[in-house]
Amino acid sequence: MTVQGKVYLIGAGPGAADLITVRGARLLAQADVVLYDALVTPEMLALCPQAQLISVGKRSGQRSTAQTLINQQLVESAQRHRTVVRLKGGDPMLFGRADEELRALEAEGIEVEVVPGVTTALAAAAATKQPLTRRGVARSVAFFTSSTAPDEPQHPALPATDTLVQYMGGREAIATATRLLAEGRRPDLPVVVIENCSRADQRIARLTLSDLAGGLEAAHGPVLVMIGEALRQRLHQPT
């Protein structure tokens, strides 16, 4: 029997279960089925013990196929259940591929609602007590990623803003630092690197642009890199 349910795209936030919004947590507790990303924590999933859980974490090298499959699963779940949650790390509307999922659901006439979440950049600023803007120093911020669509250039132009925040910034951030130095940015420009933001195994490193160009320690979780003069105030403070 076809049930035309409703789908909620919910932002899980950066990782810590208590950083999800009240609305997001309430809807999780009501969900019949939850399709969740690979970075969603077990503590977050504990908020929906009644729901059928479906892992839809993407695998490297299969992104397009994986996303098509996720779209199909969302549509099929909405045809069988009243309340379907698509749980995404951070905020669904920022690097969450929400556009593709929204279009797939809307094409089938399925009702969709988006519930925002705390994006990792803001959680990282809070975790490091490091504002991304600073009066008289930095009044613009850009969030970006090196990931590109198949028909896009492999090295798109870097944003021209005061503070740069690179998502998925492991090895890609090293290339970013090299490009910034080649463009004439100062080698001592402050950098803050945060791994597993807001989680128990969170790690923070404070360095300079030239340090970043020289490489990063191996990471075991998602990495976010913040670059800019606004970060200088706390550059040499302990983490």
Catalytic residues: 37, 58, 168
**Cα dist. 131→53, 93, 139, 169 in Å?**
37, 22, 11, 19
- How many whole angstroms separate alpha carbon 30 and alpha carbon 84? 9
Least Cα distance to 144 among 154, 132, 130, 156 occurs for 156
Place of tokens 């803001």: 122
Phi-psi region of 143 (alpha: psi -120 to 50; beta: other; left: phi over 0): beta
* H-type alpha helices, the chain: 22-30, 42-45, 63-78, 98-107, 120-127, 171-182, 209-213
**Calpha distance 172→224 (Å, rounded):** 10
Q: Look at residues 60, 26, 19, 61 and name the one whose alpha carbon lies nearest to residue 40.
A: 19
Neighbours of 79 (CB within 10 A): 15
The answer to whether 91 touches 123, Cβ cutoff 8 Å, is no
